[in-house]
Structure 1
Amino acid sequence: MAKVAVFHNTLDFEGGADMVCLHVCAALDAVHDVTLFTLSATAPERVAAKFDVPFDVTVATPPGSRALAAGLNRAAPRLGPQLPARSVLLRAYLRRRRGEFDVVVSTANELAISGPSVQYVHFPQFYGDRVDAGETGPLDGLWSRLAAPDRSQLEGPTRLLANSAWTADVTADIYGVRPTVCHPPVDPIEGRPWVDRDAGVLVLGRIAPDKRVLNAIEVVERLRARGYDLTCRVVGSAPTAYREYVRRVESAAARSEGVRVETDVSRDRVETLLGRYRYGLNMKPTEHFGMAVAEYAAAGMVPFAPNEGGQVDVLGGDDRLLFHGIEGAVETVAAALDSDLRPFLSRDRFASDRFASEIREHVSATLN
């Protein structure tokens, strides 16, 4: 049994990366002594309950971390991307305790840290100016100088993983090292038979500008204007950092007869809706993996997503499900409705037992 530090900069956004972190904790806790290092205003137990992931590990946080995290959340509209900043702050705390642990497992992307490590990249958090898909803030260069790894560190005692082939390619473009692809965990979700499902569109995930939820509402409105009798339900977390955008989404839904919004619902409610609707829509072009898209498939829905990013992996590159832009989304969904396209993707391709085994194997190989 090894002593493992799991490094995750924040659970406050309650998205796919946070779900991966919790699954990593659960997978490693079965065989090791695990401590989660995080800088969050949100209690890990609450996020774990939301994703229906068991959580029983020690949590380590810097002094005053909840107040600091809450302040960062409130300041997010002015600060821009803040994950690198949180990584820098949390790394300073972890470095003081690094000697207590045999291995560090980062579920918060790449990081310069001494000793053996496994680093799971959802999307590179440093050097955002080096790739077209990067999200840069005014202090990006500072955070990169302070905490980004160099190539020698990633080729040394570090085992680098990525959530999709697309993310692996982006990481290789920045660092010259290509991670091993390890898709996130998504278990099959029970649902109604196809004929009993609502002929509607589910838009699932964090309600934030990068997810382009307003674009999804526009797609549904255009389809309704063409005569398709579709409803739409937007369901997702509404982090404080994105409160202004959430208000815009709620206002747009209030002006539409066919759109409803639900925020911060339970996992049971999410799974009920996944099993109730026929169609799932994602509009973020450069989705790093596409957790919501994978859940659409796992629930027996017909998922649609932009023909970019990691979601191309999820949808097997099938042109019937992929599109470019708002107009492309309208045409792709309309074609599926006209042809009565039914679900055909595997529902258990990304099962959590597969993910847990892979993570344990990577940690074991690093320790050895």
Structure 2
Amino acid sequence: MARVAVFHNTLDFQGGADAVCLHACAALAEDHDVTLFTASKTDPVTLADRFDISLEADVVQPPGATALAAGFEALGPFVGPQLAARTTLLRLLCRRRLDSFDAVVSTANELSIPGPSVQYVHFPQFRLTRTEAAETSALNRVWTRLAGPEAPADRRTRLVANSAWTADVVERLYGIRPTVCHPPVDRIDGRPWTEREHGVLVLGRIAPDKRTLEAVEVLDRLRERGYDLTGRIVGAAPPAYREYVGRVRRAAAERPYLGVETDVSRERITDLLGRYRYGLNAKPREHFGMAVAEYVAAGMLPFAPADGGQVDVLDGDRRLLFDDLDGAVDRVASAVETDLRPFLPRDRFGSERFAAAMREHVAAILK
């Protein structure tokens, strides 16, 4: 048994990366003493319950961490999520304590850290001025100098990526290709296809990068074509995106066929996943696509842009992938017209697979 620190810059976005963090804590706690270091206003235990995860780890918020999280939350509408800045400052606050652990597992991307580490990359957070795959600012050079790794993989460091697409980006930036380990998504039970609602579910964080309003436009255009589809938007509404969430709420209020639910329980999410026929994601360059994977796991027909990690999730099938909003409308319309039924394996991304992989990576660096 080893002492393992899990480093996660914030849980406040309550999305797929945070689910990976909590699943990793649960998996590693079976063999090791686990301590989670984070700077969050969100209570980790409450969030773990929402994801239906048993969190058996000590949680450490270094002095000043809560104020740091509150400050980023207040600035969010103006400067964006600033993940690299969060990582840099949290690393500064807790670096001395991390030195005392046998291994560090970063579930918040790559960073410079001493000693053995597993670094799970959802998308690189440093060196972003060197890639066109992400929007960034000149400040990223500053954060890269302060906390970015020079050579993030040696025999004591393992890089892991959430998708082949993310692995490609990491390889271009660092010259090293990570091992791909898809995030955990378990099979979700639901109604038989013929008993499901004739509607579109849009699941995931409500934020500009998720293009929630573009998903609303797809539904509008389908209805204009004569398809009597309803819609429901369900997801976290982080305070950093409160202005955008307000716009989405107003759009729903103007449409009797569209509903919005925010910050709901896991039971409610699984109920909706098991009730709807169609799932839509509108974000291009999705790093993996947890919502898309949940659509598959729940026996829905999922639709997503034809780039990013969601191509992995949808096995590259062009019946489900689109290049633009016109293509999204066409794909859903074609599925309705032909009565296309779900055909992808529902248990491909199970949590036991993920847990076993994370335990193996940690065991390897401890040797």
2:134 matched residue in structure 1: 134
2:13 matched residue in structure 1: 13
Distance 1:271 1:102 in 2: 37
Per mean C-alpha deviation after superposition, the further-off stretch among 271-280 and 249-258 is: 249-258
Task: Quote how far apart the aligned CAs of 1:141 are.
Answer: 1.3
Counterpart amino acid of residue 106 in structure 1: S
- 2:217 partner SS: helix
1:75 matched residue in structure 2: 75
Q: Deviations over 1:50-83 (max 9, x none)?
A: 1000012111111132122112101112223311
Distance 1:240 1:367 in 2: 39
2:270 matched residue in structure 1: 271
Task: Quote how far apart the aligned CAs of 1:159 are.
Answer: 0.4
2:285 matched residue in structure 1: 286
Q: Does the CA contact (< 8 Å) of 2:304 and 2:320 recur in 1?
A: yes
Counterpart amino acid of residue 92 in structure 1: L
- 1:6 partner SS: strand
- 2:86 partner SS: helix
Q: Deviations over 1:78-118 (max 9, x none)?
A: 22331111100111123111332000000000000011100
Distance 1:65 1:93 in 2: 8
**RMSD over equivalenced CA pairs, Å:** 0.9
- 1:105 partner SS: strand
- Structure 1 segment 306-325 matched on structure 2, within 5 A: 306-325=305-324
- 2:36 partner SS: strand
Distance 1:319 1:72 in 2: 39
2:177 matched residue in structure 1: 178
2:303 matched residue in structure 1: 304
- Structure 1 segment 138-287 matched on structure 2, within 5 A: 138-151=138-151, 153-287=152-286
Q: Deviations over 1:220-239 (max 9, x none)?
A: 00000110010000000000
Q: Deviations over 1:143-200 (max 9, x none)?
A: 111111012x423421000000000000001111110000000000010000000010
Task: Quote how far apart the aligned CAs of 1:132 are.
Answer: 1.4
Distance 2:86 2:293 in 1: 28
Structure 1 residue runs without a partner (length 5+): none
Counterpart amino acid of residue 207 in structure 1: I
Per mean C-alpha deviation after superposition, the further-off stretch among 141-150 and 234-243 is: 141-150
Counterpart amino acid of residue 180 in structure 1: T
Q: Deviations over 1:103-138 (max 9, x none)?
A: 000000000001110000000011222111213134
The answer to whether structure 1 residue 120 and structure 2 residue 120 are counterparts is yes
Normalised TM-score (structure 1): 0.98
Distance 2:94 2:62 in 1: 9
> Runs of 4 or more off by more than 3 Å in structure 1?
none
Percent identical among aligned pairs is: 66
Normalised TM-score (structure 2): 0.99
- 2:277 partner SS: strand
Structure 2 residue runs without a partner (length 5+): none
Q: Does the CA contact (< 8 Å) of 2:6 and 2:107 recur in 1?
A: yes
Label 1:243 to 1:138 Cα distance change in 2 as closer, same or farther (>3 A): farther
Counterpart amino acid of residue 331 in structure 2: T
Q: Does the CA contact (< 8 Å) of 1:155 and 1:177 recur in 2?
A: no
1:349 matched residue in structure 2: 348
Task: Quote how far apart the aligned CAs of 1:351 are.
Answer: 0.3
Task: Quote how far apart the aligned CAs of 1:2 are.
Answer: 0.4
Counterpart amino acid of residue 248 in structure 1: R
The answer to whether structure 1 residue 33 and structure 2 residue 33 are counterparts is yes
Distance 1:121 1:244 in 2: 29
Distance 1:64 1:91 in 2: 12
Counterpart amino acid of residue 69 in structure 2: A
Distance 1:132 1:258 in 2: 38
- Structure 1 segment 44-83 matched on structure 2, within 5 A: 44-83=44-83
The answer to whether structure 1 residue 366 and structure 2 residue 365 are counterparts is yes
